[in-house]
Amino acid sequence: MTSQERELRREQRQRMRMLERQSREASRGPLDLPFLLLVLTLTVIGLIMLLSASFPSAYNDTGNYFYYFTRQLAFAAIGMAAMAAISRINYERLRGVTRIALAASIMLLVLVLIPGIGISHNNATRWLGIPGTSFQFQPSEIAKLGVILYFSDSISKKKDKMKTTRYGIVPYVLILGIIAFLMMREPHFSGTVLILGIGAVIMFVGGIRLAWVGLGFAGVAVVAWAFFAGIIKYNSKRINIWRDPLNDEWALDLGYQIRQSLLAIGSGGLTGTGIGKSRQKYLFLPEEHNDFIFAIVCEELGLIGATIIMLLFAALVLRGYWIALHARDRFGSLLVVGITTQIALQTFLNIAVVSNLIPNTGISLPFFSYGGTALAIQLAEMGIVLSVSRQMHAPPG
């Protein structure tokens, strides 16, 4: 080895040590305190409202008033621990697991569709479980994170290539198409819309041509029109109920849930009936501690309380996008955009369903709805955002 080669290797080692030192210093930077406080506030309020909304059905189902709450609290503790741990590592390390996360997501979605493995509820097969236990989870929750991780890593490396059809459109549309096909087989329409929306936003921020964005909006508009016009017959009865939720023809059928939800919202008035004093949660409103928990929020906290909670969600979303704008690199920015978009879309869709702004699609409210795995994953995702926030002021590596 010549002296020139030795010198070159020595410089490379020094450069690597410098980058590692910068990475360690960056990962020890200050957390974004406003974002952290918003997450903690929403989680605590969500647990309180879950306890209030769930104790009648918990007693009816299990004989234990606190059954759903204690399980949710345990997963909240797991999620908080994961958030704290992930926020302290360098998010660049996530690049090494992006392909594994996406592949695992697709494999789990396939497993759901295998007879005898997937678990069904309410005419939908969306769950997997561990034999001999009551533990169940929806692979779609993992698929959301898998898409965010893979898309953020892959798109961050392409830059100008994202403007080409071959590199910027085809591979991502193919991935989204596979996932959408598997989820629609469950069927899980709202989850499909959510994942497609997340992927589309990351692609848009990643730099695809505006013409493709316009074409995507046009396609969504055409599909929505086809649903509402009755051309596409998928769940056409739900469209009819959405148009006329108070029609007595289906008052005790599929229209029952949305009627009870609207009654809960209307009963809350301006200031609400008070925490714990909802009437609709006493087995009148189905899924009162899950997809329709926001109706109980409106009933107990009223318009004022529900508006405050919506403003907290809006502040979380805005702060998330602010962190994305100030991220150290393209990968971090896309990660935060994907996670923040997930929270924004899921919150909007849930509240829109509960208030009958859109047809019932069966989607949970982040931090509030019962579902331990979903809550733990959401808090872990918040840890990723906080990890990016700790490196906002670090010098580029």
Give me the DSSP letters along 71-123: HHHHHHHHHHHHHHHHHTS-GGGGGGGHHHHHHHHHHHHHHHTSTTTSEEETT
165 three-class SS: helix
Q: Please report the pLDDT score of residue 228 as a whole number.
A: 65
- What are the 10-residue block averages of pLDDT along the chain, 397 residues in total? 66 64 59 97 98 96 96 97 95 94 95 88 81 82 96 92 89 95 88 92 91 79 69 65 72 79 95 95 94 97 97 98 95 97 96 90 92 95 96 57
CB within 8 A of 178, min separation 6: which ones? Answer: 106
Q: How many CB atoms lie within 10 A of CB 98?
A: 19
Q: Please report the pLDDT score of residue 217 as a whole number.
A: 76
Cα–Cα nearest to 241, from 255, 226, 227: 255
Q: Please, are residues 308 and 286 in contact by the beta-carbon 8 Å criterion?
A: no
Q: Indicate the angle between helix axes 189-206 and 139-156, nearest 10 degrees.
A: 10
124 three-class SS: strand
Structure tokens, 87: 């926020």
pTM, two decimal places: 0.89
Q: Please report the pLDDT score of residue 256 as a whole number.
A: 87
DSSP assigned state of 132: T
Torsion of CA 152, 156, 157, 162, to 10 degrees: 100
Cross-strand bridge partners of residue 121: 124
Structure tokens, 118: 């997937």
Cα–Cα nearest to 184, from 236, 115, 111, 109: 109
Provide the total of helices (H) and of strands (E) in the chain, helices listed first: 14, 3
Structure tokens, 222: 């055409």
Cα–Cα nearest to 89, from 369, 380, 395: 380
Q: Please report the pLDDT score of residue 99 as a whole number.
A: 96
